[in-house]
Amino acid sequence: MRALLAAAALAACVPAAAVQAASSPPAVHIRDDAFTPATLTVHAGDTVTFINDDDDAHTVTADDGSWDSDGLNQSESFKHRFTKAGKITYHCTVHPFMHGTVIVKSAP
Amino acid sequence: MKRASFIGHVAWTGAGIAYVLGADGIVRAADAASGGFSFVQISDSHIGYMGPANGDARGTLEQTVNAVNALPVQPAFVIHTGDVTHLSKAIEFDDARAILSRLRAPLLALPGEHDVIGAEGPARFAAAFGRKDAAGRGWSSWDQGGIHFVALINVGEGETMGVLGDEQLAWLKADLAARKTDTPIVIFGHVPLFAVAPEWGWTTQDGTKAIALLRRFSSVTVLNGHIHQIIEHRDGAIRFATANATAFPQAAPGTPGAKPGPLAVAPGSLLGVLGYRTVEVDPTVSWQDFSLARA
């Protein structure tokens, strides 16, 4: 709650910056063999950008196999649009210990 | 193995050259020169990688090919134990084939997890390096030089990395059941069959099931890649050895703060941690690792 109030206060002070932050496209960074954030919450219809910041190769692959980034080299990215509400889990096929989750809420 | 299927095995088109070699011809040539039988293992060439750990992965694979081609006795074959490419891209397979086709000895290649990325990876690997006589997802066995060789697949295509799967284990059980206990066995695969560092994906989860099938044999050698460094391990009569990469090293398991992945070493010391392995059968199986710095 305190963070929310702080955010609200910040938004009141610098509305342009706050609006820009709120509308910036959702992204997941791949860094040090981990998806960051590990759990991302978006709305149905949102497109998420996955960016590989590592020197190593990674993939972003739905656990149910319905979508796959193919191999991403360093600084390459992959976009996926999440159309249905639900909890989607994904992994990296090259590093099967890397797991991530996208929670898709119904469109506002 | 019948002669026809043996010739099918060595009639290897994967490297872009049709090797029409009779089994007798290969084995006799090796025997005449060394009194034994030899082959070479190379691994983890990661063609397509360009980063601080190696700015020229093609060049270091070319150096490896040159070193193997310069061996005074040519090996019966060269086995590449996987991660031929970095990202399974078509251009990477083309580049790898162009370089590996310069090997004087026949080439056999197994996929690593980097070779079966995405929807197209497995098909691209099969088109570039697949073998005609393989079963299932590409596993195979053959007899050569008095050894029973088994090439296992423990990456990709419907399976989690580091899994053999029940279908392959059933095939392995049937394959080994027909062998005498004193037949020397050599196993190839990409991911180590034993648990090197499970937290880094450096293990085969159902590897213990394969190891159980190998226990009755008096001589078993398991040669893997994947971890870009030499680690040897013994479990009864079963000897395990992972190989150096030709592309870049990785951290030793247990290194504080380390992660698996390309490891940049001091300038000038890269070639010392890349290399290839010669394996001699005379009649016991022994091996020697060579770095590219010595080549």
CATH code, B14: 3.60.21.10
Residue A51, SS3 per DSSP: strand
On whether the A26-105 domain is CATH 3.30.450.20, my answer is no
| Contact state of A97 with B114 under an 8 Å Cβ cutoff | no
| Contact state of A70 with B88 under an 8 Å Cβ cutoff | yes
Give per-residue pLDDT as tens, B138-185.
899 999 999 999 999 999 755 578 999 999 999 999 999 999 999 999
Query: Would you state the pLDDT for residue B36?
Result: 77
- Cα dihedral B172→B83→B201→B227 (10° resolution): 100
Query: Would you state the pLDDT for residue B35?
Result: 58
| Contact state of B201 with A95 under an 8 Å Cβ cutoff | yes
Question: Which amino acid is present at B248?
Answer: F
| Contact state of B120 with A70 under an 8 Å Cβ cutoff | yes
More confident residue, B71 or B16: B71
pTM score of the predicted model: 0.85
Distance from C-alpha of B153 to C-alpha of B164, rounded to nearest angstrom? 6
Domain locations along chain A: 26-105
From the list B265, B267, B273, the residue with the least C-alpha distance to B292 is B273
* CB neighbour class for B77 (10 Å; exposed up to 12, middle 13-18, buried from 19): buried
Both tokens of residue B290?
Answer: 């060579």
Distance from C-alpha of B62 to C-alpha of B276, rounded to nearest angstrom? 12
How many contacts (CB atoms, under 8 Å) link A and B?
A: 62
| Contact state of A57 with B199 under an 8 Å Cβ cutoff | no
Both tokens of residue A58?
Answer: 């990674």
Give per-residue pLDDT as tens, A15-65.
443 333 456 789 999 999 999 999 999 999 999 999 999 999 999 999 999
Q: In what order do the strands lie in the sheet with B275-281?
A: B107-109, B78-80, B37-42, B275-281, B285-291
CA distance A58 to chain B (A): 9
Distance from C-alpha of A77 to C-alpha of B83, rounded to nearest angstrom? 22
Rg (CA), chain B: 18
CB-based contact, A76 to chain B, within 8 Å: no
For residue B223, the enclosing domain spans 3-291
Name the A residues in 23-42 with CB < 8 Å from any B CB: 32-33
Number of structural domains chain B divides into: 1
Give per-residue pLDDT as tens, A58-94.
999 999 999 999 999 999 999 999 999 999 999 999 9
CB-based contact, A55 to chain B, within 8 Å: yes
Chain A residue with minimal CA distance to B113?
Answer: A94
Residue B168, SS3 per DSSP: helix
ipTM over 0.90: no
Chain B contacts of A67, Cβ < 8 Å? none
From the list B17, B44, B42, the residue with the least C-alpha distance to B98 is B17
